[in-house]
Structure 1
Amino acid sequence: MIYPPALEALMAALRCLPGVGQKTAQRMAFQLLQRERDGARQLARSLDQALDELGHCRDCRMFSQGDLCPICASDKRDDALLCVVESPADVAALESHTDYRGRYFVLLGRLSPLDGIGPEELGLARLAERMADAAVQEVIVATNPTVEGEATAHYIAELARAAGIAVTRIAHGVPVGGELEYVDGGTLAHALSGRRQVE
């Protein structure tokens, strides 16, 4: 071991971040200690504060500092629409890039029996309760187009149908500005099967 124990501990802690391996953790630690000590202290304070103050919204499971997140607390949202997503990052993407103004439910994952993630871990019983609310008229399933995401979408669709609620799935296919010759076969097949009438 060529580093002091405190530096080894810092590098090990940084490796918990996605995509951060040993070399990246080392670079980050060196940067924080050599040139960004004030930034490192601010980072530590912000992490402590976030861990102490942030939990999950009781209705949608988004990050929240109270019982309800700002979206669920708003009276300007459409209660008839409930969009189901895998992560808080998906909510941020939809809020930033679309004009969707309904409600959300954040699964905090997707069904993956091999990883021990089943309906309980995703809060699907809570989702069924939300669907039982008379105001909900459409469930929009916005899980990712992976094998696990599709299995999760199917499970949610069955819950919605059992509750007598219309269920839709976000479209997947050729990206705007993309060229067909460069699109992978699975995406192209999905886009073709999900085609719609030109208006």
Structure 2
Amino acid sequence: MGGKATTNYTPPLARLIERLQGLPGVGPKTAQRLAFHVLKQPEQEIEALANALIDAKKQIGLCQVCFHLTADPICEICRNPNRDESTICVVPDSRDVIALEKTREYSGKYHVLGGVISPMDGIGPEQLHIQPLVERVSQNEVKEVILAISPSVEGDTTTLYLGQLLKPFTRVTRIAFGLPMGGDLEYADEITLARALEGRRDLD
């Protein structure tokens, strides 16, 4: 009775299940299922998976310009001369960049904040990539900043804060969400995101 669900497993298996449970969205049953699946795989497959995890952690960092995930100092989007440098789309996470790129409706640059302002979680403006954004906008010929931040208490707080900082320098718009309160960009389909971009409005 009580105790951890992994106490009935041999120690190496218990440690594997506990590690898998640390992944987002992975509960005890899913972790157990994944662990048993892994153990059934050939050793070379397990080594390949382990090496892929280590390589990704070692080789992937943040773009020096926009803070999108990249294996190079400057990401492919920032290096692309065909992208519109006068427009910057601001998103909380690199997953949002990937979601918006799938729409093929946006040709500007990006800026990844690294999260949203959330005092309850100890995340203030200083913990996000906000100051580099202000510097990009104020020091370059940026005609529009598009805020693509999901509607939520934290998202709205971040949007209003950024609007106050950026309005003195350029036009600031917010995409028109067809998402429920708290819905993430990455879960929206391409058509919904494309319409949200097209229907963006100036931030009040």
- TM-score category of the 2 structures, normalised to the smaller one: 0.7 to 0.9
Q: Using the alignment, how far apart are the partners of 1:37 and 1:97 within structure 2? A: 39
Shift in Å at residue 133 of structure 1? Answer: 2.6
Shift in Å at residue 36 of structure 1? Answer: 5.8
Normalised by the length of structure 2, the TM-score is 0.81
Q: Does 2:110 align with 1:104?
A: yes
Query: 1:173 pairs with 170, 178, 186, which one?
Result: 178
Shift in Å at residue 174 of structure 1? Answer: 7.3
Shift in Å at residue 40 of structure 1? Answer: 2.8
CA distance 1:78–1:32, shift in 2 (3 Å): same
Secondary structure at the counterpart of residue 167 of structure 1: strand
CA distance 1:155–1:9, shift in 2 (3 Å): same
Give the 5 Å matches for 1:159-198.
159-162=165-168, 164-173=169-178
Cα deviation per residue 1:75-131 (whole Å; 9 max; x = unaligned)? 111000000001111000100113201010011111100100111111111111111
Structure 1's unaligned 5+ residue stretches are 176-190
Q: Does 2:126 align with 1:120?
A: yes
Q: Using the alignment, how far apart are the partners of 1:75 and 1:31 within structure 2? A: 45
Q: Using the alignment, how far apart are the partners of 1:7 and 1:69 within structure 2? A: 39
CA distance 1:130–1:15, shift in 2 (3 Å): same
What percentage of aligned pairs have identical amino acids?
44
Query: 1:95 pairs with 70, 86, 101, which one?
Result: 101
The answer to whether the 8 Å contact 2:90/2:112 transfers is yes
Query: 2:47 pairs with 38, 41, 52, which one?
Result: 41
Secondary structure at the counterpart of residue 97 of structure 1: coil
2:62 equivalent in structure 1: 56
For 2:171, give the aligned amino acid: A
Aligned-pair RMSD on alpha carbons? 2.1
Secondary structure at the counterpart of residue 105 of structure 1: strand
The answer to whether the 8 Å contact 2:176/2:200 transfers is no
Query: 1:139 pairs with 142, 145, 161, which one?
Result: 145
Moved more, 79-88 or 39-48: 39-48
Normalised by the length of structure 1, the TM-score is 0.83
Aligned residues: 178
Secondary structure at the counterpart of residue 120 of structure 1: helix
Higher relative contact order (CA 8 A, sep 6+): 2
Query: 1:6 pairs with 6, 12, 15, which one?
Result: 12
CA distance 1:174–1:2, shift in 2 (3 Å): closer
Q: Using the alignment, how far apart are the partners of 1:111 and 1:165 within structure 2? A: 22
Query: 1:30 pairs with 30, 36, 46, which one?
Result: 36
1:129 equivalent in structure 2: 135
Q: Using the alignment, how far apart are the partners of 1:195 and 1:130 within structure 2? A: 21
Secondary structure at the counterpart of residue 11 of structure 1: helix
The answer to whether the 8 Å contact 2:173/2:200 transfers is no
Superposed structure 1 runs of 4+ greater than 3 Å apart: 35-39
1:179 equivalent in structure 2: none
Shift in Å at residue 64 of structure 1? Answer: 1.1
